[in-house]
Chain A
Amino acid sequence: AQSVTQLDSHVSVSEGTPVLLRCNYSSSYSPSLFWYVQHPNKGLQLLLKYTSAATLVKGINGFEAEFKKSETSFHLTKPSAHMSDAAEYFCVVRGPFSGGYNKLIFGAGTRLAVHP
């Protein structure tokens, strides 16, 4: 079965310092993995996606994630946090094929707080 575990429910960083949001996945086949961001009272926006191409994936707003099969991880990083990065972040894995389509399975989310 496919699943994702986000290891931290809350992460707090200072502006200008690096960001690390951790995600481990479980998948019985080669996974497709995503990071989505949800700003307060907003919908979800795709940050980046891994679909078995390059293991280091670059996304929007300076974020990137590295797929590590040996560690079953897909951690999200950013070299320097900005105040506007404060949001909820979701790690997502493509789920089982059902009814002709793949479902998305969401992690529980990590709330990122950025302090001045």
Chain B
Amino acid sequence: DTAVSQTPKYLVTQMGNDKSIKCEQNLGHDTMYWYKQDSKKFLKIMFSYNNKELIINETVPNRFSPKSPDKAHLNLHINSLELGDSAVYFCASSHVRDRSYNEQFFGPGTRLTVL
């Protein structure tokens, strides 16, 4: 199926650990995003990459480092995890040709719990 996929779906870890979340899209899109959804369901963009180039970088701690090996993949690495990092992280993708309305397709999310 064509889709945006994320792994893992659930991630439980201790404070201070380093973890990564992977995202892949096979929609042929050239722009990918990471969003954070907090416990109140509020969604906020963190990063966006276009053709492996960082184009949006919101005010996110530098413990968060996105990496895009190619335009179909955007991984999120988090160093020194903190309790406040617990959230659901969504990956999304879109095609730059559609910038007029910027329709984005979302992955199923990764629920990160930091103990």
Contacts and interface: CB of A to CB of B under 8 A. Distances in A.
A34 B102 CA distance: 10
Interface string A93-114: 0100011111110101101000
Interface in A18-50: 32, 34, 36, 38, 41-46, 49
B108 A101 contact: no
Nearest to B56: A99
A82 B75 CA distance: 37
B102 A46 contact: no
Interface residues on A, range: 20 to 34
Of B42, B96, B102, which is in contact with the most chain A CB atoms at under 10 Å from its CB?
B102
Interface residues of B, number: 26
B58 to A, nearest CB: 9
Contacts of B43: 44, 90, 106, 109
27 contacts: A32-B101, A32-B102, A34-B101, A38-B41, A42-B108, A42-B109, A43-B106, A43-B108, A44-B43, A44-B90, A44-B92, A44-B106, A46-B104, A46-B105, A94-B101, A99-B56, A101-B48, A101-B96, A102-B102, A103-B45, A104-B104, A106-B42, A106-B43, A106-B44, A108-B40, A109-B41, A109-B42
Interface of B: 4, 31, 40-45, 48, 50, 55-56, 90, 92, 96, 99-109
